[in-house]
Amino acid sequence: MRLLTHNMLQCHVKTCTDPALNFPLQLKDIELEQVETDRNDDLLLNLLQKVDWNALKATVVELGVVDFPQEIPENPQNDESFMQKFHEILMEVSPYDYN
Amino acid sequence: MPPKPQPIPITDGCSNASRKEDEFVHQVYNHIAPHFSNTRYKAWPVVENFLHQQPSGSLGADVGCGNGKYMGVDSRLALLGSDRSSELASITYQRGFEVMVADNQSLAYRSQLFDFAISIAVIHHFATEERRIAALQEIVRVVKPQGKILIFVWALEQRGKRKFDQAHQDFMVPWVIPANTTAGGSQPHSADTAPPQEDESERVFHRYYHLFKEGELESLVERSNLSHCVEITEHGYDRDNWYIVLTKT
Protein backbone atom coordinates (compact mmCIF):
# COMPACT_ATOMS: atom_id res chain seq x y z
CA MET A 1 0.00 0.00 0.00
CA ARG A 2 1.41 3.35 -0.98
CA LEU A 3 1.07 6.39 1.25
CA LEU A 4 -1.38 7.75 -1.34
CA THR A 5 -3.84 5.02 -0.37
CA HIS A 6 -2.96 5.35 3.30
CA ASN A 7 -3.85 9.05 3.25
CA MET A 8 -7.21 8.41 1.57
CA LEU A 9 -8.31 5.79 4.09
CA GLN A 10 -10.59 6.17 7.04
CA CYS A 11 -11.99 3.55 9.36
CA HIS A 12 -14.99 1.92 7.67
CA VAL A 13 -16.75 0.87 10.88
CA LYS A 14 -20.02 2.76 10.87
CA THR A 15 -19.84 3.69 14.54
CA CYS A 16 -16.25 4.91 14.25
CA THR A 17 -16.92 8.53 13.37
CA ASP A 18 -14.61 10.50 15.67
CA PRO A 19 -12.30 12.33 13.25
CA ALA A 20 -9.51 12.15 15.83
CA LEU A 21 -9.71 8.36 15.91
CA ASN A 22 -10.87 7.13 12.51
CA PHE A 23 -7.95 8.59 10.54
CA PRO A 24 -5.11 8.11 9.78
CA LEU A 25 -4.53 4.40 10.15
CA GLN A 26 -1.64 3.74 12.52
CA LEU A 27 1.25 1.93 10.93
CA LYS A 28 2.79 -0.69 13.18
CA ASP A 29 5.25 -3.49 12.53
CA ILE A 30 5.91 -2.33 9.02
CA GLU A 31 8.80 -2.31 6.60
CA LEU A 32 9.22 0.26 3.87
CA GLU A 33 9.61 -0.54 0.24
CA GLN A 34 10.29 1.93 -2.56
CA VAL A 35 8.30 1.10 -5.70
CA GLU A 36 9.57 3.02 -8.69
CA THR A 37 6.69 4.87 -10.35
CA ASP A 38 6.51 7.33 -13.27
CA ARG A 39 5.97 10.85 -12.03
CA ASN A 40 2.76 12.53 -13.13
CA ASP A 41 2.72 16.21 -12.19
CA ASP A 42 -0.96 16.70 -13.11
CA LEU A 43 -1.73 13.96 -10.62
CA LEU A 44 0.54 15.36 -7.92
CA LEU A 45 -1.01 18.84 -8.17
CA ASN A 46 -4.49 17.33 -8.04
CA LEU A 47 -3.54 15.19 -5.05
CA LEU A 48 -2.27 18.23 -3.18
CA GLN A 49 -5.93 19.30 -3.01
CA LYS A 50 -6.97 15.94 -1.58
CA VAL A 51 -4.18 14.91 0.73
CA ASP A 52 -4.56 15.62 4.42
CA TRP A 53 -1.22 17.35 4.82
CA ASN A 54 -1.02 17.11 8.60
CA ALA A 55 -1.75 13.40 8.51
CA LEU A 56 0.87 12.91 5.80
CA LYS A 57 3.46 14.83 7.79
CA ALA A 58 2.68 12.82 10.92
CA THR A 59 2.94 9.57 8.97
CA VAL A 60 6.25 10.58 7.45
CA VAL A 61 7.63 11.28 10.93
CA GLU A 62 6.27 7.92 12.13
CA LEU A 63 8.14 6.24 9.30
CA GLY A 64 11.34 8.00 10.17
CA VAL A 65 11.69 10.04 6.98
CA VAL A 66 13.61 13.19 7.89
CA ASP A 67 13.79 15.51 4.89
CA PHE A 68 10.13 16.02 4.10
CA PRO A 69 8.84 19.58 3.57
CA GLN A 70 6.77 20.99 6.42
CA GLU A 71 4.60 23.20 4.23
CA ILE A 72 3.19 23.13 0.71
CA PRO A 73 5.01 25.87 -1.24
CA GLU A 74 2.95 28.62 -2.83
CA ASN A 75 3.71 27.46 -6.35
CA PRO A 76 4.44 23.78 -5.97
CA GLN A 77 4.55 23.24 -9.73
CA ASN A 78 7.64 25.45 -9.92
CA ASP A 79 9.38 23.75 -7.03
CA GLU A 80 11.16 20.76 -8.52
CA SER A 81 12.59 19.54 -5.24
CA PHE A 82 9.18 19.66 -3.54
CA MET A 83 7.45 17.87 -6.42
CA GLN A 84 10.04 15.11 -6.46
CA LYS A 85 9.85 14.56 -2.70
CA PHE A 86 6.05 14.62 -2.72
CA HIS A 87 6.07 12.10 -5.57
CA GLU A 88 8.47 9.77 -3.80
CA ILE A 89 6.60 9.91 -0.50
CA LEU A 90 3.08 9.63 -1.87
CA MET A 91 3.53 7.41 -4.91
CA GLU A 92 6.62 5.30 -4.22
CA VAL A 93 6.98 4.63 -0.51
CA SER A 94 5.00 1.49 0.29
CA PRO A 95 4.76 0.36 3.89
CA TYR A 96 4.02 -3.33 4.25
CA ASP A 97 3.28 -5.47 7.23
CA TYR A 98 6.25 -7.73 7.81
CA ASN A 99 4.12 -10.12 9.83
CA MET B 1 -18.73 -31.12 -25.44
CA PRO B 2 -21.49 -31.31 -22.85
CA PRO B 3 -24.13 -28.59 -23.25
CA LYS B 4 -23.24 -25.33 -21.54
CA PRO B 5 -24.95 -25.19 -18.14
CA GLN B 6 -27.60 -22.49 -18.16
CA PRO B 7 -28.54 -19.98 -15.45
CA ILE B 8 -30.98 -21.26 -12.85
CA PRO B 9 -33.67 -18.85 -11.65
CA ILE B 10 -34.12 -18.71 -7.91
CA THR B 11 -37.25 -17.59 -6.15
CA ASP B 12 -35.85 -16.73 -2.73
CA GLY B 13 -33.58 -14.00 -4.07
CA CYS B 14 -33.99 -11.77 -1.03
CA SER B 15 -33.66 -14.19 1.84
CA ASN B 16 -30.37 -14.56 3.73
CA ALA B 17 -28.88 -11.91 1.49
CA SER B 18 -25.58 -11.60 3.25
CA ARG B 19 -25.08 -15.38 3.50
CA LYS B 20 -26.00 -15.78 -0.15
CA GLU B 21 -23.45 -13.18 -1.19
CA ASP B 22 -20.81 -14.80 0.97
CA GLU B 23 -21.44 -18.30 -0.39
CA PHE B 24 -22.33 -17.56 -3.98
CA VAL B 25 -20.27 -14.46 -4.68
CA HIS B 26 -17.27 -13.98 -2.37
CA GLN B 27 -16.33 -17.63 -1.91
CA VAL B 28 -16.97 -18.48 -5.55
CA TYR B 29 -14.77 -15.65 -6.79
CA ASN B 30 -12.07 -16.78 -4.40
CA HIS B 31 -12.27 -20.30 -5.88
CA ILE B 32 -12.36 -19.26 -9.51
CA ALA B 33 -10.08 -16.20 -9.25
CA PRO B 34 -7.12 -17.39 -11.38
CA HIS B 35 -9.32 -18.86 -14.13
CA PHE B 36 -11.69 -15.89 -14.02
CA SER B 37 -8.75 -13.51 -14.22
CA ASN B 38 -7.32 -15.29 -17.26
CA THR B 39 -10.58 -14.64 -19.09
CA ARG B 40 -10.79 -10.97 -18.09
CA TYR B 41 -8.28 -8.93 -20.04
CA LYS B 42 -10.22 -7.07 -22.73
CA ALA B 43 -11.36 -3.60 -21.69
CA TRP B 44 -14.95 -2.78 -22.65
CA PRO B 45 -14.96 0.24 -24.98
CA VAL B 46 -17.52 2.26 -22.97
CA VAL B 47 -15.37 1.89 -19.85
CA GLU B 48 -12.18 2.65 -21.73
CA ASN B 49 -13.73 5.80 -23.26
CA PHE B 50 -15.02 6.90 -19.89
CA LEU B 51 -11.51 6.62 -18.44
CA HIS B 52 -9.95 8.47 -21.39
CA GLN B 53 -12.47 11.30 -20.90
CA GLN B 54 -11.27 12.01 -17.36
CA PRO B 55 -8.83 14.93 -17.04
CA SER B 56 -5.16 14.04 -16.73
CA GLY B 57 -4.11 13.54 -13.12
CA SER B 58 -7.57 12.50 -11.92
CA LEU B 59 -7.90 10.10 -9.02
CA GLY B 60 -10.45 7.33 -9.48
CA ALA B 61 -11.95 4.53 -7.43
CA ASP B 62 -12.46 1.14 -9.07
CA VAL B 63 -15.00 -0.37 -6.70
CA GLY B 64 -15.11 -4.12 -7.29
CA CYS B 65 -11.99 -4.01 -9.41
CA GLY B 66 -11.78 -7.79 -9.94
CA ASN B 67 -8.36 -8.56 -11.40
CA GLY B 68 -7.64 -4.86 -11.94
CA LYS B 69 -8.08 -4.94 -15.69
CA TYR B 70 -9.13 -1.27 -15.85
CA MET B 71 -6.56 0.06 -13.43
CA GLY B 72 -3.74 0.42 -15.93
CA VAL B 73 -5.80 1.37 -18.98
CA ASP B 74 -4.92 5.08 -18.84
CA SER B 75 -1.54 6.05 -17.42
CA ARG B 76 -2.62 9.70 -17.02
CA LEU B 77 -4.90 8.63 -14.16
CA ALA B 78 -4.41 7.02 -10.76
CA LEU B 79 -6.91 4.42 -9.64
CA LEU B 80 -7.37 2.87 -6.24
CA GLY B 81 -9.03 -0.51 -6.41
CA SER B 82 -11.06 -2.53 -3.97
CA ASP B 83 -12.70 -5.92 -4.18
CA ARG B 84 -14.60 -8.13 -1.77
CA SER B 85 -12.74 -11.20 -3.02
CA SER B 86 -9.34 -11.43 -1.37
CA GLU B 87 -8.08 -13.71 -4.15
CA LEU B 88 -9.00 -11.23 -6.88
CA ALA B 89 -7.54 -8.38 -4.81
CA SER B 90 -4.36 -10.39 -4.48
CA ILE B 91 -4.12 -10.83 -8.27
CA THR B 92 -4.61 -7.08 -8.69
CA TYR B 93 -1.91 -6.42 -6.10
CA GLN B 94 0.54 -8.75 -7.82
CA ARG B 95 0.02 -6.74 -11.00
CA GLY B 96 1.38 -3.72 -9.15
CA PHE B 97 -1.88 -1.84 -8.53
CA GLU B 98 -3.18 -0.23 -5.35
CA VAL B 99 -5.93 -2.41 -3.97
CA MET B 100 -7.66 -3.38 -0.74
CA VAL B 101 -10.26 -5.91 0.29
CA ALA B 102 -13.50 -4.08 1.01
CA ASP B 103 -17.23 -4.55 0.76
CA ASN B 104 -18.83 -1.98 -1.54
CA GLN B 105 -21.38 -1.23 1.21
CA SER B 106 -18.70 0.19 3.51
CA LEU B 107 -15.70 1.55 1.69
CA ALA B 108 -12.72 2.61 3.77
CA TYR B 109 -12.18 5.95 2.00
CA ARG B 110 -12.73 9.49 3.21
CA SER B 111 -15.78 11.20 1.71
CA GLN B 112 -15.81 13.32 -1.48
CA LEU B 113 -12.31 12.32 -2.39
CA PHE B 114 -12.35 10.83 -5.84
CA ASP B 115 -12.63 12.69 -9.13
CA PHE B 116 -14.46 9.70 -10.58
CA ALA B 117 -15.46 6.12 -9.82
CA ILE B 118 -16.25 3.01 -11.79
CA SER B 119 -18.38 0.07 -10.73
CA ILE B 120 -18.16 -2.54 -13.46
CA ALA B 121 -20.27 -5.67 -13.04
CA VAL B 122 -20.50 -5.41 -9.27
CA ILE B 123 -23.88 -4.12 -8.04
CA HIS B 124 -25.74 -7.07 -9.63
CA HIS B 125 -24.06 -9.31 -7.03
CA PHE B 126 -25.99 -7.76 -4.12
CA ALA B 127 -28.98 -9.85 -3.21
CA THR B 128 -31.53 -7.23 -2.12
CA GLU B 129 -32.49 -3.83 -3.39
CA GLU B 130 -31.60 -2.37 -0.01
CA ARG B 131 -28.05 -3.64 -0.38
CA ARG B 132 -27.79 -2.46 -3.98
CA ILE B 133 -28.88 0.97 -2.78
CA ALA B 134 -26.30 0.92 0.04
CA ALA B 135 -23.60 0.05 -2.50
CA LEU B 136 -24.64 2.86 -4.80
CA GLN B 137 -24.84 5.41 -1.98
CA GLU B 138 -21.40 4.45 -0.78
CA ILE B 139 -19.86 5.03 -4.22
CA VAL B 140 -21.56 8.43 -4.41
CA ARG B 141 -20.26 9.28 -0.94
CA VAL B 142 -16.59 8.92 -1.87
CA VAL B 143 -16.82 10.93 -5.12
CA LYS B 144 -16.39 14.70 -5.05
CA PRO B 145 -19.01 17.13 -6.40
CA GLN B 146 -18.88 17.28 -10.21
CA GLY B 147 -17.24 13.86 -10.19
CA LYS B 148 -18.51 11.20 -12.58
CA ILE B 149 -19.51 7.63 -11.82
CA LEU B 150 -19.87 4.84 -14.37
CA ILE B 151 -21.96 1.84 -13.39
CA PHE B 152 -22.38 -1.38 -15.38
CA VAL B 153 -24.77 -4.19 -14.44
CA TRP B 154 -25.89 -7.32 -16.26
CA ALA B 155 -29.08 -6.98 -18.28
CA LEU B 156 -31.95 -9.43 -18.00
CA GLU B 157 -32.76 -8.76 -21.65
CA GLN B 158 -29.37 -9.99 -22.90
CA ARG B 159 -29.38 -12.17 -26.00
CA GLY B 160 -25.93 -13.70 -25.75
CA LYS B 161 -24.78 -17.21 -24.96
CA ARG B 162 -26.87 -17.41 -21.81
CA LYS B 163 -30.64 -17.63 -21.73
CA PHE B 164 -32.38 -16.06 -18.78
CA ASP B 165 -35.99 -16.88 -17.94
CA GLN B 166 -37.57 -13.44 -18.35
CA ALA B 167 -40.05 -14.14 -15.57
CA HIS B 168 -37.27 -13.98 -12.98
CA GLN B 169 -34.48 -11.61 -12.03
CA ASP B 170 -32.44 -13.56 -9.48
CA PHE B 171 -30.28 -16.36 -10.84
CA MET B 172 -27.48 -18.76 -10.09
CA VAL B 173 -25.17 -18.46 -13.07
CA PRO B 174 -22.74 -21.31 -13.66
CA TRP B 175 -19.02 -20.72 -14.02
CA VAL B 176 -17.32 -23.70 -15.59
CA ILE B 177 -13.65 -24.40 -15.15
CA PRO B 178 -12.94 -26.86 -17.94
CA ALA B 179 -11.01 -30.08 -17.41
CA ASN B 180 -7.24 -29.76 -17.41
CA THR B 181 -7.26 -26.07 -16.62
CA THR B 182 -3.99 -25.30 -14.93
CA ALA B 183 -4.98 -21.93 -13.47
CA GLY B 184 -8.12 -23.44 -12.05
CA GLY B 185 -8.01 -22.09 -8.56
CA SER B 186 -8.36 -23.98 -5.35
CA GLN B 187 -10.62 -26.97 -4.90
CA PRO B 188 -14.03 -26.23 -3.47
CA HIS B 189 -14.00 -27.37 0.13
CA SER B 190 -17.64 -27.22 1.11
CA ALA B 191 -21.07 -28.00 -0.26
CA ASP B 192 -21.43 -24.51 -1.66
CA THR B 193 -20.81 -25.64 -5.21
CA ALA B 194 -22.26 -28.19 -7.56
CA PRO B 195 -20.56 -31.58 -7.58
CA PRO B 196 -18.09 -32.18 -10.41
CA GLN B 197 -19.66 -33.14 -13.74
CA GLU B 198 -18.94 -36.30 -15.79
CA ASP B 199 -15.34 -35.34 -16.32
CA GLU B 200 -13.97 -35.36 -12.82
CA SER B 201 -11.70 -32.45 -13.34
CA GLU B 202 -14.31 -30.10 -14.83
CA ARG B 203 -15.73 -27.93 -12.10
CA VAL B 204 -18.92 -25.88 -12.03
CA PHE B 205 -19.47 -23.01 -9.61
CA HIS B 206 -22.62 -20.96 -9.23
CA ARG B 207 -22.53 -17.22 -8.84
CA TYR B 208 -25.52 -15.26 -7.59
CA TYR B 209 -26.77 -12.46 -9.86
CA HIS B 210 -29.63 -10.03 -9.78
CA LEU B 211 -30.24 -9.18 -13.43
CA PHE B 212 -31.37 -5.65 -14.16
CA LYS B 213 -34.33 -4.78 -16.36
CA GLU B 214 -34.27 -1.81 -18.65
CA GLY B 215 -34.73 1.35 -16.55
CA GLU B 216 -34.06 -0.41 -13.24
CA LEU B 217 -30.65 1.20 -12.75
CA GLU B 218 -32.24 4.62 -13.18
CA SER B 219 -35.00 3.80 -10.71
CA LEU B 220 -32.41 2.45 -8.26
CA VAL B 221 -30.80 5.91 -8.29
CA GLU B 222 -34.17 7.48 -7.61
CA ARG B 223 -34.97 5.06 -4.79
CA SER B 224 -31.55 5.67 -3.21
CA ASN B 225 -32.56 9.23 -2.32
CA LEU B 226 -29.69 10.40 -4.45
CA SER B 227 -31.70 12.51 -6.87
CA HIS B 228 -30.73 15.69 -5.04
CA CYS B 229 -27.00 15.03 -5.41
CA VAL B 230 -26.54 13.14 -8.68
CA GLU B 231 -27.75 13.53 -12.23
CA ILE B 232 -27.93 10.73 -14.75
CA THR B 233 -25.92 12.20 -17.59
CA GLU B 234 -25.72 9.14 -19.84
CA HIS B 235 -27.29 5.74 -20.06
CA GLY B 236 -27.18 2.87 -22.46
CA TYR B 237 -26.76 -0.81 -23.25
CA ASP B 238 -23.48 -2.45 -24.12
CA ARG B 239 -22.28 -6.07 -24.20
CA ASP B 240 -25.22 -7.56 -22.31
CA ASN B 241 -25.13 -4.79 -19.70
CA TRP B 242 -27.11 -1.72 -18.78
CA TYR B 243 -24.95 1.22 -17.83
CA ILE B 244 -25.36 4.75 -16.51
CA VAL B 245 -23.07 7.68 -15.94
CA LEU B 246 -23.88 9.75 -12.88
CA THR B 247 -22.56 13.24 -12.29
CA LYS B 248 -22.50 14.35 -8.68
CA THR B 249 -23.95 17.83 -8.30
pLDDT tens string B71-84:
999 999 999 999 99
With beta carbons under 8 A apart, name residues in chain A contacting B100.
Answer: 1, 5
With beta carbons under 8 A apart, name residues in chain B contacting A96.
Answer: none
Chain B residue with CA closest to A45: the answer is B57
The strand pairing partners of B247, in sequence order, are: B148, B231
Nearest to B27 by CA among B193, B181, B179, B169: B193
Q: Could you state, in order of their start, the residue ranges of all structural domains in chain B? A: 8-248
Domain that residue A8 falls in: 3-97
B78 touches chain A (CB under 8 A): yes
* Whether B237 contacts B160, CB under 8 Å: no
B80 touches chain A (CB under 8 A): yes
* Whether B115 contacts B150, CB under 8 Å: no
CA distance B184 to B32: 6
Q: What is the CATH number of the domain that holds A13?
A: 2.20.25.10
Centre a 10 Å sphere on the Cβ of residue B72 and count the other Cβ atoms it contains: 13
Probe site for chain A from B74, B76, B82, B110 (most A CB atoms < 10 A)? B110
The ipTM, to two decimals, is: 0.90
Interchain pair A43, B78: CB under 8 A: yes
Please state whether beta strands B143-154 and B170-177 pair in parallel, antiparallel, or not at all (unpaired): unpaired
A44 touches chain B (CB under 8 A): yes
CA distance B125 to B104: 11
The strand pairing partners of B222, in sequence order, are: none
CA distance B25 to B16: 13
Q: How far is B32 from chain A, CA to nearest CA, in Å?
A: 25
* Whether B59 contacts A43, CB under 8 Å: yes
Q: How high is the pLDDT of residue B178?
A: 85
With beta carbons under 8 A apart, name residues in chain B contacting A50.
Answer: 59, 113
* Whether A98 contacts A66, CB under 8 Å: no
B98 touches chain A (CB under 8 A): yes
Q: How far is B12 from chain A, CA to nearest CA, in Å?
A: 29
- CA separation, residue B203 to residues A33, B1, B9, B15, B174 (Å): 39, 14, 20, 27, 10
Q: How many domains does chain A have?
A: 1
Q: What does the pLDDT average to over B181-205?
A: 57
Residue among A2, A40, A52 whose CB faces B98 most closely: A2
- CA separation, residue B151 to residues B38, B117, B236 (Å): 23, 9, 11
**Any idea which architecture B8-248 has in CATH?**
3-Layer(aba) Sandwich (3.40)
CA distance B40 to B123: 18
Chain A residue with CA closest to B113: the answer is A50
Q: How high is the pLDDT of residue A99?
A: 66
Helix (H, G, I), strand (E, B) or coil at B143: strand
With beta carbons under 8 A apart, name residues in chain A contacting B96.
Answer: 35
Q: How far is B87 from chain A, CA to nearest CA, in Å?
A: 16
* Whether B33 contacts B91, CB under 8 Å: yes
Q: A with B: how many residue pairs have Cβ under 8 Å apart?
A: 59
- CA separation, residue B190 to residues B15, B28, B126, B167, B195 (Å): 21, 11, 22, 31, 10
Give kind and range of the element (H or E) at residue B117. Answer: strand B114-120
Show pLDDT as tens, one digit a residue, over chain A (99 residues).
Answer: 899 999 999 888 778 877 777 777 878 778 888 889 999 999 999 999 999 999 999 999 888 887 899 999 999 999 999 999 999 999 999 888 776
Nearest to B68 by CA among B101, B38, B97: B97
Chain B residue with CA closest to A41: the answer is B57
Q: Which of A79-93, B30-44, B86-100 has the lowest mean pLDDT?
A: B30-44
